Amino acid sequence: MSPVRPVTRSAICAPSDCPDPQSSPTTGVSERAATAVAETTLDLLILQPTPLCNLNCDYCYLPDRLNAARMSDRVLRSALDIVLASGLVDTQLSIAWHAGEPTTLPVHYFENAFAIVAKAARGTVVHHSLQTNATRLDDEWCRFFERHDVRVGVSVDGPDWLHDTHRLHRSGRGSHRGVMRGIEALKTHKIPFHAIAVVTSSSLAHPEEVFDFFRTLGCERVGFNFEETESMNARSSLADQSAGSPRTFLERIYDLNEAAGFPLSIREFTGALEALTTTDLASRNNTPLGQQNRPLSILSVGFDGALSTYSPELLGARAGSYESFAFGNVLRDDLVDLMANHSFRTLSAEIARGIEMCAATCGYYAFCGGGAPANKLFENGTCASTETMYCRNAIQLPIDIVLARLERELSCAPELLEENE
Ligand code: SF4
């Protein structure tokens, strides 16, 4: 590979520069969208150590989870070279080891990988995080997390009868018992962790049981991922409205937490409250959703060196007219090559048009910034679109609930309103 070239900010594909996929000019691109692009920093590097997963959850979106290949040292070194020489990393870099089950690889694989990262990083402070199904966590993994201060996220859907409906081993056996063993190991070692729970149609009638489970789990925070239609998961169970209402489920969770004195930090509500109370639009754009809409803000590197950006779920996926979302490979390309890639530029133009459509039509735009490109693509067939089931459940609903509760509180304390008049 030729020497890595830094990315000049003016070279980042501003929406108005990108070719329109339908060959019509991209017009009306807002100042805000263009500014957001120009201010890009590379906030998150997602590394796929392996696509392999030991589980076979029925809603999984990963396309290649039987593949036991692993990222080589050469791919890892090349990825770090192009990222750290890009000029887009400030003093800190977050690395998430994801897109497969990392713990199917042995601890010594990560000891070696972390040593490579530390050597390449030089002055840059690197924060590592890892999302795991927890079934393989033991004392050795916990000691590794301690040594390297790894931020751990555990995927668990709730009590065993609910979790084991969907999160299964390949044999068909439920994984809940193994997950709880892994969580016990984390707690024994006093390693903080957050939980991610997928909410399916099976969850909707049971907010009380779900809340009680997470309230006593010992996690720092829980995030509810409403099952999405994306990639290999061609249809979310939530598309069937007779299964129940996500709104009723999430409202009940809020009310239970409130009645208990807010013992549980719930990502959807803390995020909504922050969005509602933040007047600085630039920091709103720094939310995970804002990052998904900005080129190179999130960079994903596959086990084989495939380079992708925007929503992490695009790595390894196919959708619409896109055969692949690999816009280059770290073994031969740098980020300047990525930005010259035709598919990247086509997708960038689509995303920019979608953001403009959202800005023109959606009352939630100021809190959302135009949504997640992957969900628009998988649900609507194009990123040049607006509302998705994902944004109704994950963006609009938490904002509605928190706003209604704030209004209720204010109506109970009219003196606060008068002070502001
Ligand atoms: S909530 Fe949905 S429709 Fe509204 S701005 Fe966000 S992505 Fe667009």
Mean pLDDT in consecutive groups of 10 residues from the start of the chain, 421 residues: 68 49 38 53 94 91 87 98 91 94 98 97 94 97 98 97 93 96 98 96 93 96 88 74 87 96 96 83 58 91 96 85 91 93 94 95 91 90 93 93 89 63 51
- Rounded to an integer, what distance in angstroms lies between the CA atom of residue 111 and that of residue 106? 9
Q: pTM of the full predicted structure?
A: 0.88
Give the start-to-end residue ranges of the domains of the chain. 40-341
Among the listed residues 74, 56, 53, the one whose alpha carbon sits nearest the alpha carbon of residue 65: 53
Residue-level pLDDT at 136: 97
Cα 109 from chain centroid (whole Å): 24
Helix axes of 342-361 and 373-380: crossing angle, nearest 10 degrees: 90
Residue-level pLDDT at 413: 67
Among the listed residues 331, 257, 270, 352, the one whose alpha carbon sits nearest the alpha carbon of residue 35: 352
List, chain by chain if needed, residues with CB within 6 Å of any ligand 1 atom: 358, 362, 364-365, 368, 370-371, 386-387, 391, 395-396
Q: How far is the CA of 180 from the centre of ligand 1 (A)?
A: 36
Spatial contact of 269 and 401, defined as CB atoms under 8 Å apart: yes
Alpha-helical segments (H) within 153-280:
160-166, 176-188, 207-215, 246-259, 267-277
Q: How far is the CA of 380 from the centre of ligand 1 (A)?
A: 13
Q: How far is the CA of 15 from the centre of ligand 1 (A)?
A: 18
Domain range 40-341, CATH architecture = Alpha-Beta Barrel (3.20)
Residue-level pLDDT at 23: 38
